[in-house]
Amino acid sequence: MDLDGTAEAGPAIRATIHGMFEDGAFTRRLRTFRIRELDPGEGPNKDTETTFLAKEMATGRLKEAHARALAISYAEYEGQVFEFLGDEARRRYATERAWDEMRLGAAALIESVLKLQERK
């Protein structure tokens, strides 16, 4: 959950959540669900990969990266990237199946970032 909000709202959101944890009834309710030692913490929001990318990357660049990830063939990967991998990585990523898993995983991550941007 992204709790940053706007510059004005962020501190109020954090204060409200922190206040909830000081409320005995709230913490007792959490314990009924076997939730213990939950701490709202201090400091800045910790972005996930997708929320960070959604905030920082231009939609056009993400769409371009998505298309490119799906377009790169195994032969291109093998010819342009494979030679730079260490021995262990070469053993793990030497198959076309491994390449497909990596590029489809990257495409799925980019799709989730684009969906986040659409919601905002």
- In the chain, what are the domain boundaries? 1-44, 49-119
For the stretch 44-101, pLDDT in tens is: 555 566 777 777 788 999 999 999 999 999 999 989 888 888 899 888 888 999 999 9
What is the value of pTM for the model shown? 0.56
Residue 76's closest CA among 58, 53, 104, 99? 99
CA distance 31 to 2: 24
The single-letter DSSP state of residue 100 is H
Contact 69, 110 (CB under 8 A): yes
Mean predicted lDDT score pLDDT of the chain: 80
Maximum pairwise Cα distance, the chain: 62
